[in-house]
C-alpha cells in the first residue's frame, strides 16, 4: 500500500476518505495522491493543462476553474492535520469515473480509498452508483468509507465468501489487509433459502479453506438470512465488526455468490468501511 489514490471532490465523505488514507499511509509508509476531476460537457475534447477549443470563453472558463481547484487543493493539503503526510495533488479534466480508473494504472496505485454517500446521497460525485462502478472496475483493492473512521479501533474484519471457487490472489490480499490492521478475521458463509447447504458441509468447507491458506487469528461461522448482501451487513453488525472484506467480479451476471452486484450493494449500504478486490474471472 505504498501508492494510495484518493479521489477528492471537497465533500465531507471525500474528507473522511482522505483522513483514513493518511492513517493507512502512516502505517504503511505510503504516499497519497489527491485527485480532483473537473467535469465539462465537452471534456473529451480537452487535455489537462492543454485546453483546446475554438471558443475563447470556454478556454477562460476551464482555466479559471482549474486555478480555483488548484487553490482549494492547496488549502486542503496545507491543513495542519496533514502536516506529517506525503500528499501530492493532481487535477484532471474529463469524466470522473473513467479518469479515476485510468489513473490507477497511470500512477501505479496500490490502494484506492473513496468516499460514498450511499443510495440516498447528495448530488456530488460520490453517490452510491458511482462508487459501485469504481468497485467493479478498479484494478486495485478499494476501500469505501461513508463516515469518519479511525484505523486503530479496527479489530474485527468480516470476510464473506461461498468458499467454492476461492482465488489465491484475493485471499493473499485479504491476509495482507488483516496483517496491516492486526485484526481478527471473521470468516462467514451466508446461508440463504435459494442456496441452502448443510451446516456440516459448510463447516467442513470453511475448515479446509482456513487450513489451505494458513489463516490465523480467525473464526468461522454460518449466518442464515434471506439474501447474501443484507446477511453480510447484519452479520457484521451482530459481531460488531469494524470492516467488511469482499471479493468482486468485474462483470455483472455471474452465476454464483459475491458477483459484482452483491459486493456493490454491500458497499452502497454498509456504514463501516468496505474493502473489495477482484476475484479472477
CA distance 95 to 1: 26
Q: What is the pLDDT of residue 100?
A: 93
Name the DSSP class of 12: H
CA distance 249 to 221: 24
CA distance 195 to 191: 7
Q: What is the pLDDT of residues 83-109, one digit of tens each?
A: 888 999 999 988 888 999 999 999 999
- Check pLDDT > 80 for residue 237: yes
- Check pLDDT > 90 for residue 119: no
Element spanning 184, H or E: strand 184-191
CA 51-54-57 angle, 5° bins:
75
Q: Determine contact, residues 81/31, Cβ cutoff 8 Å.
A: no
Q: What is the pLDDT of residue 281?
A: 56
Confidence of residue 278 (pLDDT cuts 50, 70, 90): confident
Q: What is the pLDDT of residue 103?
A: 95
- Check pLDDT > 80 for residue 258: no
Cross-sheet strand order for the sheet of 243-248 = 87-93, 31-38, 3-7, 111-115, 142-145, 274-278, 243-248, 156-160, 184-191, 218-224
Q: What is the pLDDT of residue 117?
A: 72
Amino acid at each position: 500500500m505504498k501508492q494510495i489514490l484518493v479521489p477528492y471532490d471537497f465533500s465531507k465523505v471525500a474528507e473522511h476518505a482522505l483522513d483514513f488514507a493518511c492513517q493507512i499511509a502512516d502505517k504503511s509508509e505510503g504516499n497519497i495522491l489527491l485527485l480532483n476531476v473537473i467535469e465539462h460537457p465537452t471534456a473529451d475534447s480537452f487535455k489537462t493543462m492543454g485546453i483546446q477549443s475554438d471558443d475563447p470563453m470556454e478556454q477562460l472558463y476551464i482555466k479559471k476553474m482549474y486555478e480555483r481547484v488548484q487553490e482549494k487543493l492547496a488549502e486542503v493539503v496545507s491543513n495542519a492535520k496533514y502536516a506529517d503526510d506525503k500528499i501530492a495533488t493532481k487535477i484532471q479534466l474529463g469524466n470522473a469515473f473513467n479518469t479515476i480508473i485510468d489513473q490507477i494504472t497511470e500512477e501505479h496505485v496500490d490502494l484506492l480509498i473513496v468516499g460514498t454517500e450511499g443510495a440516498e446521497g447528495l448530488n456530488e460525485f460520490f453517490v452510491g452508483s458511482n462508487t459501485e462502478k469504481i468497485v467493479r472496475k478498479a484494478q486495485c483493492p478499494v476501500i469505501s468509507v461513508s463516515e469518519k473512521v479511525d484505523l486503530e479501533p479496527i479489530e474485527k474484519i468480516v470476510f464473506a465468501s461461498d468458499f467454492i471457487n476461492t482465488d489465491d490472489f484475493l485471499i493473499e490480499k485479504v491476509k495482507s489487509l488483516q496483517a496491516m490492521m492486526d485484526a481478527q478475521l471473521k470468516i462467514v458463509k451466508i446461508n440463504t433459502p435459494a442456496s441452502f447447504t448443510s451446516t456440516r458441509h459448510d463447516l467442513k468447507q470453511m475448515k479446509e479453506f482456513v487450513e489451505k491458506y494458513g489463516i490465523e487469528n480467525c473464526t468461522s461461522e454460518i449466518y442464515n438470512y434471506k439474501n447474501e448482501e443484507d446477511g453480510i451487513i447484519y452479520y457484521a453488525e451482530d459481531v460488531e465488526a469494524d470492516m467488511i472484506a469482499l471479493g468482486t467480479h468485474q462483470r455483472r451476471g455471474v452465476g454464483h455468490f459475491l458477483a459484482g452486484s452483491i459486493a456493490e450493494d454491500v458497499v452502497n449500504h454498509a456504514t463501516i468501511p468496505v474493502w473489495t478486490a477482484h476475484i479472477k474471472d
